[in-house]
């Protein structure tokens, strides 16, 4: 009997690991850890990774995070760890985390922050070079729909990235987000059945107080009924296309910002020639380069398309002043370039931006 779902999950893992996208470690084959909750998605990923690890030249273990948010969570974590060990994953690490109460971003964000902190710490302790998570194409579709509802830009529409860095140098890899094979929740559930694996069902996945659950249980099914089948895959494909465009635009913007910052250094700006600063109570020191104004010729920005101009402004503000500009702030700064009528400085997080003749001048606040 052909176990199609199992083969698709294995192929997805193989493609994620082939060519050594995992940063090299010293000595033996690099260690990767599967983020294992015991649910169908992560259990299917754990089984596929255990099977593919040797051929990919890596060692495979698991990290089980107990968020402590449900009664009996310790038993669920212990069961997941037992399943991971039974699949041949080694080491299998179990970590209990404290989820900081909601600070405005919602309980999901608080749990995610705690979880990713545990991932980074576990990777450092075990010497793991990558953590594999089991986000599927369905997760991607939900992410795109939520981004659309928020009125987000292209980067948000690009959805969940298939790779991202962690503190400490390890990376997150998400094998099931690839376009081919298309691994959905139906795929992972079928893979578990084919391999005789018994997944845990997280009650939070049925709790309508979470926006993502409402999208999953109500909004997407309604769209499928009204528009026909294939909506979820179409949304996931939108993320693929948006990511390609966003990556290209970001790369072009970074090149332009690189040139502007390099010109500043070559001109003898503070990055190349720091000056003494007030040492404060501790003693002598050097001025923070961000404390000095940064001048950028308006001509660098004026001929750029709006999508690039905004990215360059945000990149310079972030890299030079540590500022993270909203769309409203970015548009206000861009107006000093494209619609300047003598208006005064624009206050943005960490800086003030003013037009002085043919220059755009950023000054730290």
Read off the pLDDT band of 277 (50, 70, 90). very low
User: Where do the structural domains in the chain lie, given as residue ranges?
Assistant: 4-245, 267-280+288-364
pLDDT class for 283, splitting at 50, 70, 90? very low
Residues 286-313 pLDDT 10s: 345 556 889 999 999 999 999 999 999 9
Average pLDDT over residues 154-183: 94
pLDDT of residue 120: 95
Q: How far is CA 355 from the centre of its chain?
A: 35
What is the CATH topology of the domain spanning 4-245?
Answer: Rossmann fold (3.40.50)
The per-residue pLDDT for 104 is 60
Sheet of 92-96: strands edge to edge? Answer: 92-96, 59-66, 31-35, 128-132, 171-173, 163-165
Quote the pTM value.
Answer: 0.85
**CA 245 to each of CA 16, 126, 156, 199: distance values in angstroms, whole numbers, following the listed order:** 21, 36, 12, 37
**What is the CATH number assigned to the segment(s) 267-280+288-364?**
3.30.465.60
Residue 308 pLDDT: 96
C-alpha closest to that of 354 among 333, 327, 338, 339: 333
- The number of residues making up the chain comes to 365
pLDDT at 25: 57
What per-residue confidence (pLDDT) applies to 23?
65
Give me the percent of the chain exceeding a pLDDT of 90.
73
Question: Mean pLDDT in the chain?
Answer: 89
Residue 295's beta-bridge partner residues? 361
Q: How far is CA 199 from CA 44, 46, 64, in A?
A: 9, 12, 14
pLDDT tens string 80-135: 999 999 999 999 999 998 888 766 667 778 888 889 999 999 999 999 999 999 99
Surface-to-core class of residue 56, CB atoms within 10 Å of its CB (0-12 exposed, 13-18 middle, 19+ buried)? buried
């Amino acid at each position: 009997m052909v176990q199609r779902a199992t083969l698709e999950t294995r192929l997805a893992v193989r493609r994620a690991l082939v060519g050594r996208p995992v940063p090299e470690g010293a000595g033996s084959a690099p260690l990767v850890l599967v983020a294992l909750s015991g649910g169908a998605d992560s259990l299917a990923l754990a089984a596929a990774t255990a099977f593919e690890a040797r051929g990919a030249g890596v060692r495979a273990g698991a990290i089980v995070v107990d968020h402590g948010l449900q009664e009996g969570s310790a038993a669920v974590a212990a069961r997941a760890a037992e399943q991971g060990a039974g699949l041949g994953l080694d080491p299998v690490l179990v970590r209990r985390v404290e989820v900081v109460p909601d600070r405005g971003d919602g309980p999901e964000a608080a749990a995610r922050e705690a979880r990713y902190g545990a991932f980074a710490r576990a990777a450092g302790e075990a010497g793991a070079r990558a953590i594999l998570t089991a986000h599927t194409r369905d997760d991607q579709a939900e992410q795109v729909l939520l981004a659309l509802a928020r009125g987000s830009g292209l980067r948000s529409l690009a959805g969940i990235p298939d790779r991202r860095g962690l503190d400490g140098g390890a990376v997150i890899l998400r094998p099931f987000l690839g376009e081919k094979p298309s691994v959905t929740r139906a795929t992972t559930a079928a893979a578990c059945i084919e391999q005789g694996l018994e997944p845990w069902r997280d009650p939070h996945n049925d709790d309508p107080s979470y926006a993502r659950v409402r999208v999953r249980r109500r909004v997407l099914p309604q769209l499928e009924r009204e528009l026909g089948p294939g909506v979820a895959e179409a949304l996931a494909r939108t993320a693929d296309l948006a990511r390609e465009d966003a990556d290209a635009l970001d790369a072009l913007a970074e090149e332009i910002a690189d040139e502007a910052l390099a010109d500043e250094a070559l001109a003898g700006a503070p990055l190349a020639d720091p000056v003494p600063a007030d040492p404060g109570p501790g003693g002598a020191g050097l001025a923070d380069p961000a404390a000095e104004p940064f001048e950028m010729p308006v001509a660098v920005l004026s001929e750029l398309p709006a999508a690039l101009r905004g990215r360059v402004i945000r990149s310079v503000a972030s890299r030079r002043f540590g500022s993270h500009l909203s769309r409203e702030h970015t548009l206000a700064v861009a107006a000093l370039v494209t619609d300047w009528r003598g208006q005064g400085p624009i206050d943005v997080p960490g800086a003030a931006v003013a037009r002085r003749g043919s220059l755009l001048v950023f000054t730290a606040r």
